[in-house]
Structure 1
Amino acid sequence: MIQTAALPQLWSYGHPLDMDDDKVGLLRPSNDALEDVDELRRRLDTDGYLFMRGLLDRDDVLAARRSMTDRLAGQGLLHPDRDPVDGIIAPGQTLTFKPDLASKNPLVEKVLYSGRLVEFYTRLFGETIRHYDFTWLRCMGPGKGTNPHCDLPYMGRGTHKHMTCWVPYGDVPFELGGLMVLEGSHKRMDLLENYVFRDVDGFCANKPNQVANARNGGWTFTGTLSHNPPQVRAKFGGRWLTTEFRAGDFLTFGMFLVHAATDNRTADRLRISSDSRYQRASEPIDERWVGVEPPGHTLAGKRGRIC
């Protein structure tokens, strides 16, 4: 076990994490197993994630970052006296979810949907793959990170064997806030079963308040597991695992792994990252996330049932 005594105090969703070595740890890179697909699959089964250090072309990732920060600057969201690529927020602006930055962006698509990532998942799945057409793109300013959750409630209408890929666009020191995963949580179905198979876009068609909420694009169930990462860790056991990320890294995991993000503790810097999804082409896919304009969580993606 790598000792974490030298780590700074980390925060997640406004809560200080317990920094003891049995409660917080560092992600294990799996670059040493890159050419051994059986070992990669074993680690994925055992650890619930694969962390690949520098496998993506750093120049391509930074070019994608530049394309996005230039768009943000053009929207007046970045500090006018700084180079946009620095990602310094303009005074008074707040940023979080910006999928428009990835839409019709060939430099982002080059990183995520061609070359090394496609080759990686093709080898890992052992057959032809396909990806979701929607890219989740986040520009996280100072403040709270993402709360603990699993991904399946948001994308569980097709296969349950698809995978998330988290990519940072730029170097991410601890203070900027990055992804963290809860060690071993993907094996705790005793705690997850009543949560993870729910659909955030499902609603009771015989309950007028839920129907009205769905028509407005709302959720009856938000998909959040908790707003308190330390309590989640205490309940599930294991450690919150994270690291300082660099442009060119990626972290991938399945639909049952509990994860969250540490808080951005800087004064004015953005952490830019994307979530993309990959699966075997032979398996069913969630219709909310494919097509020229995927319906996602809009009214078109809602599904009613009699409760």
Structure 2
Amino acid sequence: MKDLQLLKFTPILKDKIWGGEKLSTLLHKNSQRNDIGESWEISDVEGDTSVVSNGFLKGKNLKELIAEYKSDLVGTKIYNHFGEKFPLLIKYIDAKEALSIQLHPHDDLAKKRHNSFGKTEMWYVMQADEKANLIVGFQKEVTPKEYLHHLENKTLTDILNIDEVQKGDVYFIPTGRVHAIGAGVLLAEIQQTSDITYRIYDWDRANPDGTFRDLHTDEAIDAIDYSAKESYKTTYSKHQNASSEIVSCPYFTTNVLPLKGKINVNHNDKDSFVIYMCVEGSTTFTYQNQTEKLAMGETILIPASIKNIEIVAENQSELLEVYIK
């Protein structure tokens, strides 16, 4: 069995009723459509398994890689816990129109109802049109009865927290937290491997054929976190040519790495794969004799067995660095 390589995957593009053109025009995804809402960069969701697009492993899918390389690919602790299921789903999302207001169930509820993981996630805003916003959480704590009253009267946004956003804003979305991406936002999303969503309001928006997407009013009632926070935006600091933590939870850790010039990165302290998402500029990754370019909107997976890499950025660039502690 050959040693592992730096891994890039063919994006899985998803057309959405709310999708737009930015994944094609700004992130250069290969699509002629103008309704692409999501680019699934690394996925092990059933029916949507990522396929390697580079190197000697080109054409193999993520399931086959884990079956063959096991802990060399994902790390010993992760393999022992998840087996041959890749634990994260990595996406870029373009909302030309607002997404539905939704939430995700926690692990226990998702397991019981759907035999799935829950879906804790985070957002990193890459670009936002003027006055574009995100809905995250409630303005103040509400009761289920108050929530249902507003839902039935189509005044749900009166009790939700709505933030105007700009490039670099970060939001952590634990399970149960009501949320929606507003029109005009392009972002990177890191989440548990799950596609379980409870849609609670969809702006009374019809599909092209006149039908409406399902709502999950009953399922959502006992899955919602009705509490409130003073602020939902994550505060963090950046340090040039160094990784700074922005989000850490049991499911993933995400750092931000602003970069210009050359750095050597050592991952000996991690028992995990490491994923890099390029959210600004472009970079070049080198491991032994392998070199891979990473443009804005591209993603690369560094297997757990690869501990030392070189990253070069000719111009100011920025990476998100994702792994599991």
The two structures have a TM-score, normalised by structure 1, of 0.33
More helix by share: 1
TM-score under structure 2 normalisation? 0.31
Which of the pair has the greater relative contact order for Cα pairs under 8 Å at 6+ separation?
A: 1
